[in-house]
Structure 1
Amino acid sequence: MLSSFKPTWMVESIYQITPEQLKRENIKAVLTDLDNTLIAWNNPEATEETIAWIKLMKKNDIKVVILSNNSRKRVKKVASILELDFIPSALKPLTRGFKKALEQYPFSESEWLMVGDQVITDIRGANKAGIKTVLVKPILDSDAWNTRLNRFIELKIMNYLLKKDPEMKWRDTIHGRRIKEQ
């Protein structure tokens, strides 16, 4: 049952995911969570690192779409700055937002990758939709009030998954070396 929360890969940061890694897996499009994955949850501005990563993806013909549970107004503000398509009010972990992406863009499930910082919403939803996943560490240690309960539950789920599968480790890239836990 808890296997539906298991990510395909675990990478410290979205910025460590490169076009070369994606092409090796035949990934042509990335769905990315917004808060604490692409940008800090409490800051609507994109960092230079975020902008550079988006430019790199675009230069290499990797489609990037923001998939967020946030409101249209919140997501549009960031998506406009980054010049990205977006799907707001996705209702993750339901598959509604993922299916919308699959309908809107000419990529099959196997050509998509979901990147997010929460196993309950991002990873479980993508797994249910048949999309590969990367769990990243949250950009900030703090969260919005509505995410704190999820984090508590996630800790229990992750402890179970890590105990069951010792190969589940944080890596520096999708196919990279394991990172020693601190």
Structure 2
Amino acid sequence: MFERFKPTWMLNSIYSLTPADLKRHGIKAILTDLDNTLIAWNQPQAHNDQIKKWLVMMNEADISVIIVSNNNHRRLQKFAQPLGINFIARAGKPFGFGVKRAKKQLNLTDDQIVLVGDQLLTDIAAANRTNIRSILVKPLVDSDAWNTKINRLLEKVVSHYLLKHNLLGDEWRNKLDG
């Protein structure tokens, strides 16, 4: 039951991902969560140099990036439009509705897509439900919106089970391979 929350990889940050790492694994597209993955949840328009540089690097390597978030359209548009990023709002994670819509847009095979997010119960579960690989990243900030705080409590139970059964690495990395 808890295996559906097992990530493929665990990284310190989405910004650790490089085109070389992704291409080594045949990945041509990143579906990413927004809050506490790309930006802090309480910074709606954090267009910093790190985000811009990372997006340019992915674009130059022909790696598509689509934000797949449970946030509303207005919040995502405010962030994504100035950066020229496609997005799927009200994605319905962990159920995978938004992930499936993004997969249709990309027209790639499942093994060419990865979902990156900071939550086991939404992001990783949605990736596993839709048969794509996943990367769990550390949340960018320690605080969360009220609705995410509930998930974090449940996530502690899930991560304890995964650790106990050797289904979750106990080591955060800066690269996919080591």
**What band does the TM-score fall into relative to the shorter chain?**
over 0.9
Could you report, residue by residue, the CA deviation over 1:94-114 in whole angstroms, capped at 9, with x for unpaired residues?
121111011112211111000
The normalised TM-score by structure 1 is: 0.94
Instruction: Report the 3-state secondary structure (helix = DSSP H, G, I; strand = E; otherwise coil) of the residue aligned with 2:115.
Output: strand
Aligned-partner Cα distance in 2 for 1:133–1:166: 14
- Which amino acid in the other structure matches residue 91 of structure 2? A
Let me know the Cα RMSD of the aligned residues.
Answer: 1.0
How do 1:1-182 and structure 2 match up within 5 A? 1-44=1-44, 45-165=46-166, 168=169, 169-176=171-178
Distance 1:119 1:95, change over 3 A: same
Unaligned runs of 5+ in 2: none
Aligned-partner Cα distance in 2 for 1:154–1:167: 12
- Which amino acid in the other structure matches residue 77 of structure 1? K
Matched-pair identity in %: 48
Could you report, residue by residue, the CA deviation over 1:63-106 in whole angstroms, capped at 9, with x for unpaired residues?
00000000000001111122100000001001211110111122
Could you report, residue by residue, the CA deviation over 1:133-171 in whole angstroms, capped at 9, with x for unpaired residues?
000000000000110010011111111111211761211
Aligned-partner Cα distance in 1 for 2:111–2:69: 20
Q: How much does 1:46 deviate?
A: 2.1
Confirm or deny: 8 A CA contact 1:39 1:47 kept in the other structure.
Answer: no
Distance 1:7 1:75, change over 3 A: same
Aligned-partner Cα distance in 1 for 2:96–2:13: 24
Aligned-partner Cα distance in 1 for 2:115–2:4: 14
- Which amino acid in the other structure matches residue 174 of structure 2? D
The normalised TM-score by structure 2 is: 0.96
Distance 1:58 1:66, change over 3 A: same
Number of equivalences: 176
Aligned-partner Cα distance in 1 for 2:152–2:78: 26
